[in-house]
Amino acid sequence: MLCPSGPHALQLGLWYNGYARGSYVANNGIGPMVESCSDSVPLPAARVGGAFYVNSTLTLADFRDGTSQSALVSEVRVVTDNADQRGVMHYPEGPFYHHNYTPNSLIPDQVRTAACPGGGINIPESPCVGAYSVWRPRSVLMTARSYHPGGVGLLLGDASARFVAESIDLGVWQALCTPKALVNEASVGTF
C-alpha cells in the first residue's frame, strides 16, 4: 500500500523485478536490525525490539505498555530508484523502520550498499548510506519518514492512527516503540 502523498505505484516498479514496495512498514524497535531468519534466537539480547522483528513470538498479551502506547506501523519515503530496498514488503531488509531518530530525520538510513541509490548520492529527503554489502551480517537502520509536511502517520496497537510531529521528544518516540516499558523509559503521555 502506498501513501497518496508519495510517488505513484506506476512510478515505482518492483524491487529487483519481483518484490512490491509500499509506504507503510512495521516497527522494528531500536536498530540496527542485525538478526536473520536463520538465527536460533529471534532477537539479540542487546537490541530493543519493537512490535515486529524476524521470527517474533510476541502476542498482544506481551504489550505491557498498553496497546494505545505501542507503535505498530509508520511510514517510509519510498523513492523511484528500483535499487532502493526501503519499503520492500516481502524481504527481511525492507518492511521495517526504527525509532533511533525522530520522524523525518535527515540522518541517513543504513542499508545494504547495493540498495542505496548512487552509493549514497541520493534523494535528500530520504538519505541513505551503504552500511553492509551482503545479507548476512546485516546492519539495517531505517527512520520513519513521510511526504507529509511536519511528521508521519503512526498506527498504534489499539488500531488508532495518529499524526506524530517530527518535533516529538526523542525519548517519547523511543518509548512508543517498546511493547514492554524499559527501565527509565520516558512516559508516553498524550504525545
Tens of pLDDT, residue by residue over 122-156, are 678 889 998 888 877 788 999 999 999 999 999 99
pLDDT band at 42 (very low <50, low <70, confident <90, very high): low
Give percent of the chain above pLDDT 90.
41
* Rounded Cα gap, residues 175 and 50, in angstroms: 10
102 Cβ contact partners less than 8 Å away, ≥ 6 residues apart: 166, 167, 168, 170, 173
The pLDDT assigned to 20 comes to 86
| Residues 89-127: tens digit of each pLDDT | 888 888 999 999 999 999 999 998 888 877 655 678 889
The DSSP output letter for 161 is E
pLDDT at residue 93, rounded to an integer: 83
Model pTM score:
0.90
Binning pLDDT at 50, 70 and 90, where does residue 191 land? confident
Distance CA 106, CA 110 (A): 12
The pLDDT value recorded for residue 41 is 67
| Residue 9, pLDDT score | 61
Asked if residue 14 has pLDDT above 90, the reply is no
Instruction: Kindly report the average pLDDT of the chain as a whole number.
Output: 86
> Range with the lowest mean pLDDT among 2-6, 71-75, 103-107, 114-118?
114-118
| Res. 37: pLDDT tops 60 | yes
Q: Residues 6 or more apart from 179 whose CB is under 8 A from it?
A: 49, 50, 51, 58, 62, 63, 64, 65, 70, 157
Question: Which residues 6+ apart lie within 8 Å of 15 measured at CB?
Answer: 21, 82, 83, 84, 85, 88, 91, 94
